[in-house]
Amino acid sequence: MFATYRDMTFQEYLDYFEQILASPQDYPAYQDPEYLNYAKLNWSRMNRWLKRFEPNEEMKSMISSITEPQHWIVITEPWCGDAAHSVAQLYQIVKNNPNIDFEIQLRDAEPFLIEDYLTNGGKSIPKLIIRNDVGHDKVIWGPRPQQLHDIFVQQKEEGKPFEEIKEAMQKWYNEDKGAEIQRELLVSLQ
């Protein structure tokens, strides 16, 4: 089993994710076939974004202009469908700036940082927290782009089946190609 659950680098998160897929019996949540299937799908989606997603020029310029140390913490889990898209994109956005420390924390493992960043009282993920070098939160983003969140809420209120909602969300992510998350981050970072 994976030794540490906190302060993971992105590579350590990928390694952890692979360990789950290789030995789901060692991870209680993934003994549930539904969670394991989510993780398998999410692994494919995340790797697709790692290969295909390229931040736009405005985003690259904004990130390269960051010269003060920042700490980007992403709270996530491998079973999360939203995370399969946005966590890979967030990593691709910041990976080339040495002033940005990119950290993954698991929602369902200590220190339970998610408790400080609830969404309407729930533990929705992924959640991005951008802190300055003295630990003050500058930006809190998540669990998904607002445009998609509005669609999600509307479909839930209409009583659509969860499978139909998930399908609509996946379609939205594929068509958006990371544009909205970049737009929201640019606004938040300015």
What's the chain's average pLDDT? 94
CA–CA separation, 149 and 144 (whole Å): 6
Query: Is 5's pLDDT higher than 80?
Result: no
pTM of the model: 0.93
Three-state secondary structure along 133-184?
A: CCCCEEEEECCCCHHHHHHHHHHHHCCCCHHHHHHHHHHHHHHHCCHHHHHH
Please state, as a whole number, how many other Cβ atoms lie within 10 Å of the Cβ of residue 81.
Answer: 15
Q: What confidence score (pLDDT) does residue 140 get?
A: 97
- Looking at residue 1, what is its pLDDT? 37
Q: What's the pLDDT score for residue 3?
A: 38
pLDDT at position 168: 95
CA distance 148 to 154: 10
Q: Please check the confidence at residue 4 and state whether its pLDDT lies above 50.
A: no
- The domains of the chain, with CATH numbers, are 10-144 (3.40.30.10)
Give the pLDDT score at 6.
63
**pLDDT tens string 12-30:** 999 999 999 999 999 999 9
How much is the pLDDT for 111?
A: 84
Going by C-alpha positions, the residue among 103, 87, 72, 99 that lies closest to residue 9 is 103
> Residue 190: its pLDDT value, please?
87
- Per-residue pLDDT tens digits for 74-128: 999 999 999 999 999 999 999 999 999 999 999 998 889 999 999 999 999 999 9
